[in-house]
Amino acid sequence: MSISVQNISKSFKNKTALSDISFEVKEGELFGLIGPDGAGKTTLFRILTTLLIPNKGEATIANFDIIKDYKSIRNNVGYMPGRFSLYQDLTVEENLEFFATIFGTTIEENYDLIKDIYVQIEPFKKRRAGKLSGGMKQKLALSCALIHKPKVLFLDEPTTGVDPVSRKEFWEMLKRLQTKGITILVSTPYMDEAALCDRIALIQDGKILEIDTPREIVKHYPKTIYNVKAANMYLLIESLNIYKHKYSVYPFGEFVHYTDSRTNFNPEDLKLYLKTKNLKNISIEITQATIEDTFMELAK
Amino acid sequence: MKEETAIHVENLTKMFGDFTAVNAISFDVKKGEIFGFLGANGAGKTTAMKMLIGILTPTSGNADVAGFNVNTQPESIKKSIGYMSQKFALYDDLTVKENITFFGGIYGLTRKQINEKRYQLVEELELQEIVNELVSSLPLGWKQKIAFSVALLHNPKIVFLDEPTGGVDPITRRQFWELIYKAANKGTTIFVTTHYMDEAEYCDSVSIMVNGKIEALDTPKKLKEQFNAESMNDVFLKLARG
Amino acid sequence: MKRFIGFIKKEFYHIFRDKRSLFILFGMPIAQIMLFGFAITNEINNVDIAILNNSKDATTEEIINKLNSSSYFSIKEFIQNENEIEAIFKKGHVKAVLNFEADFSKKLSTKNNANVQIITDATDPNTANTISNYVSAILQNYTQTINKNVTITYQIIPKTRMVYNQELKSVFMFVPGVMTIILMLVSAMMTSISITREKELGTMEILLVSPLKPFQVIVGKVVPYIFLSIVNAIIIIILSIFVFNMPVQGSLFLLGIESILFIITSLSLGILISTVSVTQQTAMMISLMGLMLPVILLSGFIFPITSMPLPLQIISNIIPAKWFIIIVKGIMLKGVGFTFIWKETLILVGMTLFFIVLSTKKYKIRLE
């Protein structure tokens, strides 16, 4: 196992950040930690990168214990903290060179590994990091985290605050890194990114709700979800919320995801009810559960 | 200008030196509409919004916001709009109650009005237990919901939301959007900037800005048809990659 | 070692790219020393005084002439009666009034003593004191000249001589103080800010998760500032020698070594500050309030320690700057060698070791 976490708990003063977290990540796996801000993702990352000591539980990274062998772990992991922690007043090249030096290596030595990523920012290598766009900062930060050829890569919310194009490119880069045998633990608040991981853990309020492949996780959703649509969104939500048989009502883009508490639910009944509420252009269709639906159901 | 138009923008341009941040954009936002203002980082969204809320003077072009001209009446605009951003929403070291009183005060509400509004807000969001807590001790989702309601305190005609729901958990995020729908239903115009595409799907109409220009403007449904895309995310990717 | 050099290189990039703090770093010593040297002074020069002469005879005229011809005083006004004294002080520019009693000469020759009253404006007590001393000195001087031919038996005449700073130049007093402040500020504040900046940016997390050892990070942070502080010390010494003609009586080499010792003391304090503060702002506040004020107020730089209340005298002992000022004054003004200042040096060494041990203990290899 590349990462093994057993019953980790952590609290600050009287606030519990993590309670009884356990999971394992196989070598070369792309594992996603999916949850909103404040779920405990960053605390978990800091424990696994030896920056914090858990109150309870054990963990090993590349078979090194996070407490006893913290020095070995520090030599073998790459870490990209939540904010792209770069030296804003150093140029792209200087940043990369600095991180290479402190890890006792050179850019040339591991250029193969970062080549794909670095060529995209190489034209700007004389530019100060502070003047880069969000997407370029993200690529530079990843290059810096990779420069010493780590066995395990920790990426704490690498796509937060980055536009969709850069996000997509970033995930493509991760997929390529995976083929080089690097284990990647990545956290994100975006549910839509979950599908890109091999396996995911849904996390909220310091607890893991579920661990599985993205495909399996949505299968666990217990109910049939209906896409409901009508001309007046607000009235639709209001009406569904007071419908006596509703189980859950969540706006989902242009639709409302509706589940019913009855087993023998007939959409026509709902349509009739909505008509009595003066709603027009009503449509009700069965739809697939998403990871977000599952998350909300589990977090309820 | 038609009665039903809340924001009317015509060839609005902003240059910083040689750099054109916003390049002759034009669009209309209808009253009571939820308007999504999308774009990548650095596409010019923030600059455009700053002009619309009257804190940045355009280089050229014109815009009417809530019936006031951005060039000549920026102070009147400020009085008739509400504003909330992810970066700054409420004072962390004040309680919920103090924040409400403060923001009510700067928008010229009387003490009586503030008290009424606060009572109403506490009821609506079920804040009874946290109204005297420091904002810093609240979960992010709560802060965002309260901040939105505070932006509505003075019954503005238009509310500008700058990336309001980043990082919020899915359930709270939906509660937040329900609040938005509710405000829109009462006739408040909502102007949202975001680069989270799933958020775009909630809007009545959406504009996408690329390099200072508006490259697409329509309802999410029509945009998806037009670009033959599954989601707004795909629309955006197709647009941005040319 | 290569890692370490890479780290120091990075620190120098930071320093040289931040034009504003670079300016503060080198502009401040020059500005401060000029300010203290020229603007702030304890000497009196051309102080306006008024005379109330109730006798108007040869002796008083002679005394008045003597006062007027000294560079210290210029007689602004002659007043006629005591009621005017208050009014003239209220106008502000006259700092002292000399009141000669009636029949001054006659009394002096018949009774062998005559009175002159010195009234000073003590809103500024230091100046008032100095004025009174200067006037007394001039009067005493005069008494001696008129008594030259008369032999009075059993007379004790104190002869004051100010040694080490004959002309009582205040710049001599300020240079050691300013040097202390600047070295303290540059070393302690700049290091603590540069360490906390890494915490604020989040880069400290990456440094911690790297194979760099914590002491390498700290020493790497400190080395550039040792260098900059030495440059600063040299600038100050050169300025004081060439602009203010301040002598360095003792060994320049010894002064250099002691300065480096004090720089290291300040740096270790800076590291200690950075271990307790999370943001650059707190680091700056602690440095300013916790270091600057005691250095200015309690080190003996401006206010003499011996005239402080006992508790403050005791507190002043724990301020490193106090000992450094003694050392600098000793070397620069008295020209003493190491044998005279070994005690103070030892105290500084002890303090430095204490701060270093404390900050290594407090420095975390983790975030908590």
| Same structural domain, C201 and C285 | yes
Q: What is the pLDDT of residue A25?
A: 95
**pLDDT band (50, 70, 90) for residue B42:** confident
Chain A residue with minimal CA distance to C210? A74
Chain B residue numbers with beta carbons less than 8 Å from the beta carbon of A38 are: 139-140
Same domain assignment for residues C59 and C36? no
ipTM over 0.90: no
Are C10 and A81 within 8 A, CB to CB?
A: no
In this prediction, residue C250 carries a pLDDT of: 86
C218 and C346 housed in the same domain = yes
Residue pair C318/C294 in contact by the 8 Å Cβ criterion? no
Give the Cα separation of A215 and A198 in Å (integer): 9
Q: State mean pLDDT over B5-16.
A: 94
Q: Which domain holds residue B15?
A: 5-240
Q: Collect all residues of chain C within an 8 Å Cβ-Cβ radius of residue A82.
A: 202
With respect to residue C125, please indicate whether it lies within any of the assigned structural domains: yes
Residues of chain B positioned with their CB less than 8 A from the CB of A37:
140, 167-169
DSSP H helices, A122-266, are: 134-146, 164-178, 214-219, 233-241
**CB-side exposure of B239: number of CA atoms within 13 Å?**
28
pLDDT, residue C43, reads 64
Domain chopping of chain A, boundaries: 3-219, 225-299
Give backbone dihedrals phi and psi of B145, rounded to 5 degrees, phi first. -65, -45
Q: Are residues C113 and C214 in the same domain?
A: no
Answer whether B32 touches A (CB < 8 Å).
Answer: no
* pLDDT tens digits for range C250-266: 888 999 999 999 999 99
Output DSSP code: residue A264: S
User: A79 vs chain C: nearest CA distance in angstroms?
Assistant: 7
**How far is the C-alpha of B90 from the C-alpha of C283, rounded, in Å?**
26
pLDDT tens by residue, C201-241: 888 888 888 888 877 888 888 899 898 889 888 888 888 88
pTM for the predicted model, two decimal places = 0.81
* C120 and C216 assigned to the same domain: no
For residue A283, the model assigns a pLDDT of: 93
pLDDT value of residue B181: 92
Rounded to the nearest 10 degrees, the angle between the axes of helix C2-17 and helix C19-34 is: 70
pLDDT in tens, A227-249: 999 988 899 999 999 999 999 99
Please tell me if residue B181 touches chain A, with a CB cutoff of 8 Å: yes
Q: Which amino acid is at A296?
A: M
> For chain B, how many structural domains are there in total?
1
Instruction: Give the N- to C-terminal CA distance of chain C in Å, as an integer.
Output: 28
Q: Can you say whether the dihedral through the CA atoms of C317, C319, C324, C325 is positive or negative?
A: negative
- Lowest mean pLDDT, pick from B197-211, C37-51, C269-283: C37-51
Q: Is the domain of C186 the same as that of C281? A: yes
- Domain A225-299 matching CATH 1.10.8: the answer reads no
Among the partner residues A38, A192, A253, nearest to B139 by beta-carbon distance: A38
C170 or A180: which carries more pLDDT confidence? Answer: A180
Last-in-domain residue among C131, C146, C161: C146
Q: Encode burial over C289-306: b for 16+ CB neighbours within 10 A, e otherwise.
A: eebbebbeebbbbeeebe
Whether C54 and C186 share a structural domain: no
> What is the CATH number for C64?
3.40.1710.10
| pLDDT reported for residue B2 | 47
- pLDDT reported for residue C4: 87
**C57 and C19 part of one domain:** no
CB of B210 within 8 Å of a chain A CB? The answer is no
Q: Residue B120: helix, strand or coil by DSSP?
A: helix
Pairwise CB contact (< 8 Å): C17 & A86: no
| Beta-carbon separation of C206 and A79 below 8 A | yes
Task: Work out how many domains chain C is built from and give that number.
Answer: 2
Q: Does C100 map to a domain? A: yes
Cβ(C50)–Cβ(C88) under 8 Å? yes
Q: Given 3-state DSSP classes, what are the helix, strand and coil percentages for chain A, each rounded to the nearest 5?
A: 35, 30, 35
Indicate which CATH number applies to the domain containing B181. Answer: 3.40.50.300
Tell me the pLDDT band of B7, cut-offs 50, 70 and 90: very high
Task: Give residue ranges of C with CB < 8 Å to any A CB.
Answer: 2-3, 5-7, 9-10, 13-14, 17-18, 201-203, 205-212, 365-368
- Per-residue pLDDT band for B37 (boundaries 50, 70, 90) equals very high
Residue C164 lies in a domain: no
Range of C219's domain? 2-40+169-362
Highest mean pLDDT among A73-82, B38-47, C37-46, C81-90: A73-82
Q: How far is C96 from chain A (nearest CA, A)?
A: 59
The answer as to whether C96 is a domain residue is yes
Is A51's CB within 8 Å of C13's CB? no
Distance (Å, whole) CA A22 – CA B28: 52
Residue-wise pLDDT tens digits, B86-121: 776 788 899 999 999 999 888 888 999 999 999 988
Chosen domain end from C81, C112, C146:
C146
Residues C141 and C202 in one domain: no
Contact A85 C367 (CB under 8 A): no
The subunits that touch chain A, with at least 3 C-beta pairs less than 8 Å apart, are: B, C
Question: Which of A5-9, B22-26, C292-296 has the lowest average pLDDT?
Answer: C292-296
- Cβ of residue A51 closer than 8 Å to a chain B Cβ: no
Give CA–CA dist A174/C22, Å, rounded: 41
C22 in a domain, yes or no? yes
Q: A3-219 and A225-299 share one CATH topology?
A: no
* Subunit contact B178:A251, Cβ cutoff 8 A: yes
Please say if the pLDDT value at position C50 is more than 70: yes
Q: Is residue C162 part of a domain?
A: no
Q: For residue range A83-132, list pLDDT tens digits in order.
A: 778 999 999 999 999 999 998 899 999 898 899 889 989 999 999 998 88
- Domain at A3-219: CATH architecture: 3-Layer(aba) Sandwich (3.40)
* 3-state secondary structure string across C230-261: HHHHHHHHHHHHHCCCCCCCCCHHHHHHHHHH
Residue C156 scores a pLDDT above 70: no
Are B237 and A165 inside 8 Å of each other by CB? yes
Answer yes or no: do C269 and C128 share one domain.
no
Q: What is the pLDDT of residue B233?
A: 86
Asked whether A and C share 3 or more beta-carbon pairs under 8 angstroms, the answer is yes
- Residues in chain A whose beta carbon is closer than 8 A to a beta carbon of chain C? 46, 49-53, 70-71, 74-75, 77, 79, 81-83, 85-90, 94, 97-99, 101-104, 144-145
Boundary of a domain, candidates C146, C178, C209: C146
